[in-house]
Structure 1
């Protein structure tokens, strides 16, 4: 496989798909199918399965395999599918990678193993070992808030020398760091740089990035696709208009809960209230109770998203 040639397809909006659950170890299968079709109808450019928004660390390996299989079967090659295989166990990461390959996944996504802190030499060696053993091209996933580890720029540069490491998703929300990543892009023209926080999507694309992994695109995919397209076209008036709407969603819908889980709870509750999928959550989290659900319904109505999601 020509990894360098394949990486240029990863541009645009690639939502980190929520995982519709009906119980602790049971997928909401009809909800999963509706969610996938809803995002594809909104024009997204790919899907990222088993990311943070998908509550991946809280899912059993059995359910992760089922999710990969069902998603790939439903998507049926219409857009690229990326799968997160981040794990504290190399054996389990490689196992999920093999399942991904068997089901036609296009690329993998790997964050540093969490729990134990990683030094940069150890992280570089880990990436090299992955590059030698993973059966698919893969993205680095920079998420220091969850892993306690940042990919230093020199570590990224060394990873760029490996042909099957094809890009990076940066969820650090550190725009100085992101500027530095953009400055590395001329060293490898086929490298893909994606932004994690949706609030930074517009400026990241205007600065030379290639798209975003936006959680809100589960709910209103067309909004994020249009914002990406406006940024690529450098239509600054349109960018300002659409970015303001994204920020309104971020500052209302994602702020209903009181804890760090508020973003995922708010998003899954909104998907449930829109008739797309169940909002059962991985433990220790639980779905919003009625007072918070009422707030989500109010905010969906104010934003015009309830009607939009149901219609789609």
Structure 2
């Protein structure tokens, strides 16, 4: 179910930062038309940190209703409180999401045992397939491979979004988990290499801008067509880099706005893309053929 190009969807907002439901509907339809294999609603790129609980639940519900089962919807339901993560995960299940994406608890820096118990508790509390999400550069805590391997034995925990870009770690996870446990990249620049090792896909920021190209990239890599996959990734590398000239999702939202797909809202403490980066990001969009 969870394989290929999975867009980490931006959450459209109006200039006064209200949720923009019309743009969200159009964005979902565009991704399906472009060949995106699955959607992540309200992940990091979807500004989960600045949506309140009501909005968080509403966005997931609206995305599920719009998709109508055509591709999987993965709901971002992570929190640094286990009770809150359970509440969000239960709401996602009630809304009909196909799986959830649960980030390691941020800021409070739990131990490895704390990470295990947190995710184990969520998986046992809510009967919804759970993808672990390890992104230590943002959370301040690193879920080590030995903890992931323990969690891979827990029913309902079906995979991991591994965003470290560490291919030694990726190989360890791919080779030591069962065939039903998916290992998905969370780092666009290195996603090809993870998939060529036997990984299952890419939860992609770049796919917000070039979904068709990322879908093709993932298929080539999963099929083991290394030369073609790497050549396409080289073409996309300027865009991968442009999406991170400032903290995600700042560049991605600016780029999607420039393409005419959303309005310009982004919530504090995130700010609009700094003017000094407008031309570099625009040049990457032009190079990718979307402007």
TM > 0.5 fold call:
yes
Alignment map for 1:247-262 (pairs within 5 Å): 247-251=237-241, 253-254=242-243, 257=245, 260-261=246-247
Kept in 2: contact 1:169–1:193 (CA 8 A): yes
Question: How large is the RMSD of aligned CA atoms in angstroms?
Answer: 1.8
Which residue pairs with 1:284 in the alignment? 269
Relative to structure 1, the CA distance from residue 301 to residue 246 in structure 2 (aligned partners, 3 Å threshold; closer, same or farther) is: closer
Q: Distance in 2 between matches of 1:140 and 1:217?
A: 20
- 4+ residue runs over 6 A deviation: none
**2:243 aligns to what SS in structure 1?**
helix
**1:131 aligns to what SS in structure 2?**
helix
Give unpaired runs (5+ residues) of structure 2. Answer: none
Q: Distance in 1 between matches of 2:97 and 2:109?
A: 30
Which residue pairs with 2:252 in the alignment? 267
Structure-1-length-normalised TM-score:
0.88
CA displacement, residues 19-72 of structure 1 (integer Å, 9 cap, x when unaligned): 111156521112111211111111111111111111111211121111111111
Alignment map for 1:120-199 (pairs within 5 Å): 120-185=112-177, 188-199=178-189
Q: Distance in 2 between matches of 1:233 and 1:294?
A: 36
Which residue pairs with 1:3 in the alignment? none
Q: Distance in 2 between matches of 1:65 and 1:198?
A: 27
1:19 equivalent in alignment to 2:11: yes
**1:48 aligns to what SS in structure 2?**
strand
**Greater share of helix:** 1
1:238 equivalent in alignment to 2:228: yes
Q: Give 1:119 deviation, angstroms.
A: 0.8
Kept in 2: contact 1:169–1:196 (CA 8 A): yes
Give unpaired runs (5+ residues) of structure 1. Answer: 1-8, 307-312
Q: Give 1:90 deviation, angstroms.
A: 2.4
Structure-2-length-normalised TM-score:
0.94
